Amino acid sequence: MPRPRTHDPQTVLDAAETLAARSGPAAVTVRAVAAATGMSNGALYHSFGSRRDVLARTWLRAAHRFLDLQSAAVTTALAATDPETRIAAVIEAAETPARLAEHHPDSARLLLVVDRAELLDGELPPELAAQIAATDTALLSVLTRLARALWGRADRRGVATVTTCLVDLPTALLLRRDRLTDPLARKHLRAAVRAVLELGPR
């Protein structure tokens, strides 16, 4: 009796990511992913569960890629003793969306088109929902640690200032206007983040 064909889970996530990045999250169906990977619908359901589960796992992989890139820059900022190195590292952390687009363009696009809140607004296995929620906790931890390192404070205004640099400005200058690969947009981002850091919190 022939053994069932095995499939690398990363291949499934790659297929789902490509579908979502190029055609939107609605394109990620069990049938479409199965066709792209050569799996049967039944094998895909057995290995990954529902279409929503596949999309959630794909989003999580992209989110972890983003957080890993950002974390490397943040680690440099936290370890730096001179202000200029620290500012440069925070600017690099702010550029994470663009750097992710360089290394994993479909992952960057996926995070732009798939709403995290929509993933959680439905039935997911508890462990998947917890992992998605944990990405927010990880980001908040980064913001708090940076505020403390930059200004010796992690109050609401300190964290809000770092949030402006790492969330608000990249979203406004790179993501909402779909300028992830625009060199001028990255220059604008660097200048804006530097200005906010120099002003600091109230």
Domain that holds residue 90: 59-199
CA atoms within 13 A on the CB side of 158: 15
Give me the CATH number covering residue 82: 1.10.357
Assigned domain for 2 exists: no
pLDDT digits (tens, 9 = 90+) for 92-144: 999 999 999 999 999 999 999 888 888 887 788 899 999 999 999 999 999 99
The total number of structural domains in the chain stands at 1
This prediction's pTM: 0.89
Residue 108 placed within a domain: yes
DSSP state of 190: H
The answer to whether the Cα torsion of 102, 17, 34, 23 is positive or negative is negative
Q: Is the pLDDT of residue 2 over 50?
A: no
Residue 127 lies in a domain: yes
Average pLDDT, the chain: 91
Q: Considering only 7-16, 52-61, 65-74, 180-189, which range has the smallest mean pLDDT?
A: 7-16
What six digits make up the tokens of 38? 């050569």
